[in-house]
Structure 1
Amino acid sequence: MTRLLARIAALPTSATRSLVVILAVLLVLAGVGISQLRYEDGTRALFDSSRAEYAKYSAHIERYSQNDTVALLLISSERPLADQQIGTLRDLVLALGEIGHVEAVYSLFGVNTTNPAAGDIAELSSRDLAALETVRAAPGTATETHGAAQSLISGDRTQTVMLIALDNRLADAEPSAPTLDAIAAAANRIAGAAGLSIELTGMPAIRSQITERTYQDQRVVNSAGAILGFLISLIVFRSFWIAALNSIAPGIALVMALGMFGLAGFEINVMRNAVPILVLVLATADCIHLTYAFCRKASDGADIGETVRDALIELGPPCMLTSLTTIIAFAGLSLSQSSLIQSLSLSGMIALAMSLGVVLLVHPLVFVLAWRLAPVRRAMQRSRSGFLRAIDVGPITRSFLAWRRPVVLTAAALAIGLAFLFLPLKTDFRFYEYVGQDDALIETLESAESIAGPLHAIDIPLHFAEGQALSNETLDAASAIHLTLEAGLPETPVVSTETLRRALEARDEWPSANNVVLALTPLPPSVSDSLIARDESGLLLRVMIGDLPSAEVRDIASRAEELARAVEQDALIVEDATGPSVVSARLSDIMIKQLAGGFLLVALACPLFIAFWHRRWDFGVATILPNLLPILAVGAWLVWSGADIQFTSALALTLAFGIAVDDTVHVLNRLAIEQRSHPARDAIATIHAAMRHVAPALIATTAVLSVGILSTYFASVPTIWNWGQLCIAVFILALIADLLLLPTILALLPRKRATP
């Protein structure tokens, strides 16, 4: 290892021009990659996996239309809608129907069957009007459980809702933003002129906003992280020159990571948007360690070649080891069956490996080039007078070492107690966690749902039994199941072909299979395909729900399956509940627990790797408790507070563990150096010397990590700053554990025992 690092250290001085040329080429390639970066919300792909639940869902959406491509317009007036305003709304419906990718518009007038040539809305037949009762329910708007769907206008007639069914391609292949912008522009142009206020919401609008905010957050958070990293370096070294030089390599690591994402086809989404800032912050922390060593060597009179070589030989191993432990943390994410998280795992490992190369090669190169400037040389030679040397944790360390056994036993007991609070895991997932409950889109959606009914649904597919087809018998069986679910789930509206049959009966039409088909024929596929499968292989029953916690969705889905299968009938086969809400609720619980399993693997692998690296079993044992305790504390707090473990927190705890180990690595590395340099020294004295030397750097590193991650507070996507908050909590607790608990554990496992 020493020879390898010596060769790496020689490159910045012996092959300066070659490294500069190679770096320039890599930066050009990174620029090309950044220009190809794609931004997506990633919410639809989060549960894409090899699991049977997702395979059934994939087959299900091929047979039935879904609600997640329905946009909503909430139109409001200060007074009850006047005749002129209602006429304006008819014009708006016509204009919306002419926008590309708009499949249908549902409004208080019914289904938009526009006739652009005549410039009006076609009249609906009596049978169409009967189907309209189901039309208003099918996209997710039924709130009345006895046949008549609620109107799309508020009771005081001051608000109305329009439901706009968009082409499914907007959910899978094409961006929806242009279509949504066209809808908003048409609504504001036509309805706004009549004194009506327009608010656009719905799943397409929310997903489009998440994508846009992810794009904005990358610029804001990364810029803020770079500025904060520079400021903390300025405070640590008290030199503008050194702070500026220390910021160059982390910036290059960030650019290369983003370029790699673009070239490799890794899109930035709700999961991957935290990786760039993580790369920036970790590179800054490693660079501060190296810069601190550069300045220390330079102040001792060494030339730049000797300075770089000695610093890399001393701190190269811990920098490599800290990167490898974080890479192990990313590798632990690959245990998840989510293809999106597996992709996150791979991209994170590659980005951190590239960052390590930048830290070990580019950072020394920057200082070699800058050494030619007299102000830089003077700054490096004088930086030893910085405030870091004034930090002395010796008295505190000495006190804890004097009581090392009680301290370790207390910490172990605390860890066991926190584990009981943390386990078994309570998971939660809600789509709106990526937006925020107080976001304007969510508030508008809640207002629209108070008029039109809940948007989300639990789908119960009813497959035709062998020899069966759409007939009065199968419709009667579906009606029996519908009635059973209405009775068993009285708080949740139910929508099926029974809803349409009731509407036909209310208009004195016979609710036969033939009349049901005739009623659905003139309607767009988003309606007909939400009741009868496209391939006519079965019927669909929907239990309408709001945005509920995943545990509640799982309970309702299980109850609906139980009730549906309890109905005695032979015409239909009741399949497992599915749909976006059910799949996300059930798979999120499984996948978050898989991430927890990955964390346990990381918690075991990192100490083993450290023990193997140093060939010291005591180092591996000493690593476990100081790094596990902060994670258990944060996890127990999440469960105790009712926040439970979400994707964001599961990712944060796993990655934070890998990062928190970094401080431990630097302590162990310094302890190993002290033991080699002073083999006859008392073990306690050696620990004191190691802590006195490394504590300032640990405090500075934790400050850099915490302040850098603090930039996530500028993010507009809530999960980003939630992730940052959890990471900062783990970093601070890990620093405390490394300064106070780690020395006491090491003192109990010395090669040479002594007393203070």
Structure 2
Amino acid sequence: MLKLFTKGFWDVVARIILRNKIAILLSIVAITVLFITQWNHMRFTYTEANLLPDDHEVNIVYTDFLNIFGEEGNLVVLGVKDSSLFTVEHLNAWNKLSEAFKSLDEVEAVVSIKDLKKLVKNTEEERFELEPFITDSIHTNRQLDSLQEDLFQKYPFYDNFLFNKNTKTIRTAIYLRKDIVNTAARKDFVFDALLPKVEAFEKATNLDVRISGMPYVRTLNAQNIVDEIGKFIALALGVTSLIFFLFFRSFRATFISLLVVCIGVMWTFGIIGFLQYELTVLTALIPPLIIVIGIPNCIFLINKYQHEVKLHGNKVRSLQRVITKVGNATLMTNVTTASGFATFMLTESTLLKEFGVVASLSILSIFILCLLIIPIIYTFLPFPKDRHLEHLNKRWIGGFVNWMERMVKERRITIYITSIVLLIASMIGIYQIKISGSLIEDMSKEAEFFQDIRFFEEEFNGIMPVEILVDTKRKKGVMKLATLKRMNELEELILEIPELSRPISVVSLVKYSKQAYYNGNPKYYQLPTSQENSFILSYAKNSSSNLNLLSNFVDSTGQYARITTFMKDIGTDKMEDIEEDLQTKINKLFPEEKYHVTITGKALVFQKGTKYLVKNLAISLSLAILLISLFMAYMFRSFRMIVVSLVPNLLPLVITAGLMGYLGVPIKPSTILVFSIAFGISVDDTIHFLAKYRQELQANHWKIRKSVYGALRETGVSMFYTSIVLFFGFLVFTFSSFGGTVALGALVSATLLFAMLSNLLLLPSLLLSLERNIANKEVLKEPSINIIPDEDEDEDDDENQTETNKNP
């Protein structure tokens, strides 16, 4: 009954499409225009991808820190490593450059060499005062020498913050307003103010200025992603259309396919705008992805149309059959592909949810567009010429199909042994896979800003902030000497870790106060004793100038303190080791009943998010397998067939995972998508093959071998065409400047290639070897959905299409 309903449904769909051509085309145009109006709502994300749920413990800790001290990633740094900087002319120019940023609305504060102040003791008024190192500007070499002596020998408080005394590298710190760090104003500051001023300075002095800091890095990285969207769309269109043309040798068919996928891309951007989602590094991949997935739909539909035209020469009947015969098959394959993406919607990560929603809706949209536009346009076009049908008789394709058939007939044992060897080798490789939670690993290694990151890592041990929040559980508890001593011991451990920079906290300020109390003698840069503490604190309380310094390290109640350090770009394993060492020291130094100390910061949150995604990978992939298995069960009503169909699709995933281990490609947010995407796409070939196989069984009176070879010959060409398009389509992502996108493209391409060979060699081999258990009428019952209508049904259709032919 359902079979008859399905057949009748597609007959109705075909009549509606072919009889309402103009109305449908006008509707597509109207919807496209509507989606274009939604493009204004698209916006690029100005924050790092938060891979964790909002209520995750790590996110809660980070949010608590931000509520107390505000945005921590608001620092932009400029650096120069050049001995010629220490000339009167160049140093004054450097100070003038720094001063120029202070008047900008986006800037909260600027700290440069000229802004450094000595903390000095005023004995008469019993307070500390701040005196500038440079009162106005440098006029003589003597002043310059005195300044260098002060900086590099007398005041350790500023060491490794604004200068590196060993390499004489100088830097300026620009603190952006915390309320604009995650907004479009940050981009305006970088491109309209920061870069022009720095370029003018470099041109005037011939000095090389290095720029870094998370706001700057995030802005340029985001701009690279935006730039690559256009590049990928152009590459995907170029590559897929070229392959399409080489297969069909028809400019007309190629143009129609490009028109369809271009409208699909417009709809994708419209969906993102309509849902008011941000363009992230993941959603930016969807438009070119739609091109790569949409072209195979076009291949199936146009190939079927040309095949039917060649068979009987009736254009209208051919278009009707395109819809009724291929429509159901492409619907099922697009639904399974969309399901692979839709499983991301079930994760608790907002980033993945949005990716899953947009991708699945876009895939279903491109299917609808292909089914409507291609048959309608061909009704207006003249009958295909002989040269348009030549590709149907290509000898080399026949040779490829004959090779597959020969392998399945004569080399099944070789196929099984090869599969088992690959499986074992891949399992070994899987154990070598590492997890990466680096914020900057996927950034372009060739980009100038990435080279600057490495520069600051070498000179100042990193730019990625790690924050330690100390809660003393009582007001003014931070300034207790016992608390300061505990914090100092923790900082000594941080100094011993080469991947972390010198920490900055209230402890450094208290040490600086003691040095000032002893008339600036650097040997007294240390914590005061309990006896000294009362005298020094009395001076500090009388010093209003210190309050601004304290506000960066201690909250207004004196209950909370922060220790800020910066981390190099290191692997997840190393980061976890460092976190464990710090936590062990914290547990030892800070009793739980008196203190609550937490480690947080953007780098740590991102690393935890990556670990969280690995867990979600298993969930989303399992859901994809389950969901697609349910589709197979509904279509074929055979548990054994489900098991047999999953084997050739899971093996390529295992092989790809093994390759990742051997090649050193880590699991990270970009590569984590490979498995669900590849599985959702590769299972389409299995559905086509098994549907045709079942049809062949009925036509050949359950003669298994004849049916397997018939299905192989019939579907092998289409599977080869689509797999080649998908392979090269995903390969365009390897032209990205982002390591993660390169890995994603290469891995999905490789997986789909393995999947094609697996479906064309391993699947038919399994069907032949398990013929008694698989291919019988009890196992292969009447399908719930007849994906490929039987040929006898087509003959009946021909008799009933007279009215449609007269009035399409």
Task: Show the 5 A alignment for 1:491-530.
Answer: 492=500, 493-508=502-517, 512=536, 528-530=550-552
Read off the aligned partner of 2:198 and give its amino acid letter: A
User: Quick check: 1:333–1:598 contact (8 Å CA) kept in 2?
Assistant: yes
Letter of the 2:725 counterpart: V
The 5-angstrom pairing of residues 117-128 of structure 1 reads 125-126=129-130
Of 187, 202, 206, which residue of structure 1 is paired with 2:213?
Answer: 202
Assess if the C-alpha contact under 8 Å between 1:565 and 1:574 holds in 2.
no
1:604 positional shift: 3.4
2: distance between equivalents of 1:325 and 1:645? Answer: 25
Judge conservation of contact 1:618–1:749 (CA < 8 Å) in 2: no
Shift in CA distance, 579/309, structure 1 to aligned 2, threshold 3 Å: same
Greater shift after overlay, 52-61 or 70-79? 70-79
Q: Write the deviation string for residues 501-539 of structure 1: whole angstroms up to 9, x where unpaired.
A: 222222226665566677795676xx6454213554311
1:169 has 2:169 as partner: no
Q: Using a 3 Å threshold, how does the CA distance of structure 1 residues 330 and 663 change in structure 2: closer, same or farther?
A: same
Q: Is the 8 A contact 2:73 2:465 kept in 1?
A: no
Distance in 1 between residues matched to 2:409 and 2:776, nearest whole Å: 12
Alignment partner of 1:625 out of 647, 650, 653: 647
Distance 2:425 2:262 in 1: 42
Q: Offset of 1:675 from its aligned partner?
A: 2.3
User: Which residue in 2 is equivalent to 1:716?
Assistant: 737
In 1: Cα distance, 2:486 partner to 2:54 partner: 31
* CA shift digits 1:7-53 (9 cap, x unpaired): 22223320011101101101111221234422236524344532111
**AA paired with 1:283?**
G
Contact 2:553 2:563 in 1 (8 A): yes
Which residue does the alignment assign to 2:99? 94
Deviation at 1:288, TM superposition (A): 0.3
Q: For the residues of structure 1 that align with 2:739 and 2:279, how far apart are their CA atoms?
A: 16
Q: Counterpart of 1:176 in 2: which secondary structure?
A: helix
Q: d(CA) in 2 for partners of 1:390 and 1:554?
A: 55
Give distance in 1, aligned partners of 2:667 and 2:288: 22
State the TM-score, normalizing by the size of structure 1: 0.88
1:584 aligned residue (592, 601, 606):
606
C-alpha contact (below 8 Å) 1:13/1:365 kept by paired residues = yes
Q: Which of the numbers 736, 739, 745 marks the counterpart of 2:760?
A: 739
Task: Name the structure 2 match of 1:703.
Answer: 724
Instruction: Show CA shifts across 1:237-268 (max 9, x none).
Output: 12222222232222221221111111221222
Specify which of 341, 345, 365 is matched with residue 354 of structure 1.
Answer: 365
Aligned to 1:639: 661
Asked whether the 8 Å contact 2:84–2:90 carries over to 1, the reply is no
For 2:584, the equivalent position in structure 1 comes to: 562
The CA distance in 2 between the partners of 1:660 and 1:638, in whole Å, is: 19
Distance 2:196 2:298 in 1: 50
Provide, for residues 137-162 of structure 1, a one-character-per-residue CA deviation record: whole Å limited to 9, x for no partner: xxxxx9x9986623634568875321
| Structure 1 residues 275 and 209: CA distance shift in structure 2, 3 A | same
Deviation track 1:554-590 (CA, whole Å, cap 9, x = no partner) reads: 2211211110120265885132311112111223112
Moved more, 192-201 or 149-158: 149-158
Equivalent AA in structure 2 for residue 610 of structure 1: M
**1:152 partner letter:** L
2:624 & 2:768 partners in 1: Cα distance? 25
Larger CA deviation: 621-630 vs 182-191: 182-191
- C-alpha distance in 1, partners of 2:542/2:346? 50
Q: Closer, same or farther in 2 for the Cα pair 1:270/1:491, shift >3 Å?
A: closer
Q: TM-score, normalised by structure 2?
A: 0.83
CA contact (8 A) 1:477 1:569 kept: no
1:605 corresponds to which residue? 627
Q: Unmatched 5+ residue regions in structure 2?
A: 1-5, 119-127, 134-151, 519-531, 778-808
* Distance 1:396-1:486 versus aligned 2 partners, 3 A rule: closer
- Matches of 1:570 and 1:690 in 2, distance apart? 69
1:661 counterpart residue number = 683
Does the aligned pair in 2 maintain the 1:152–1:162 contact within 8 Å?
Answer: yes
Relative to structure 1, is the Cα distance of residues 444 and 480 closer, same or farther in structure 2, using a 3 angstrom cutoff?
closer
Q: Hey, what's the Cα distance between the residues in 1 that align with 2:105 and 2:327? A: 58
| 8 Å contact kept, 1:421–1:639 | yes
Q: Quick one: distance in 1 between partners of 2:623 and 2:570?
A: 32
Matched residues in 1 for 2:166 and 2:504: separation? 26
Deviation at 1:386, TM superposition (A): 4.4
Question: Structure 1 residue 317 and structure 2 residue 328: aligned?
Answer: yes
- Count, aligned residues: 726
Query: What is the match of residue 138 of structure 1?
Result: none
Aligned CA distance change for structure 1 residues 247 and 55 (closer, same or farther; 3 Å)? same
Any idea what SS the aligned residue of 2:670 has? Answer: helix
Change (3 A) 1:543 1:145: farther
Structure 1 residue runs without a partner (length 5+): 114-123, 130-141
- The 8 Å contact of residues 145 and 494 in structure 1, kept in 2 or not, is answered as no
Query: Equivalences for 1:29-178 in 2 at 5 Å?
Result: 29-40=34-45, 43-47=48-52, 49-75=54-80, 77=82, 79-110=84-115, 125-126=129-130, 149-150=159-160, 152-153=162-163, 159-178=169-188
| Residues in 1 aligned to 2:267 and 2:116: alpha-carbon distance in whole angstroms | 51
Q: 2:554 aligns with which of 532, 535, 556?
A: 532
Distance in 1 between residues matched to 2:56 and 2:169, nearest whole Å: 43
Supply the AA of the counterpart residue of 1:126. L
Encode CA deviations 1:589-616: one digit per residue, 9 max, x unaligned: 1222212331133233323322322223
| Worse overlay, 227-236 or 296-305 | 296-305
SS of match in other structure, 2:281: coil
In structure 2, the partner of 1:596 is 618
Greater Rg by CA = 2
| Alpha-carbon distance, 1:636 to partner | 1.5
Cα distance in 2 between the residues matched to 1:741 and 1:175: 56
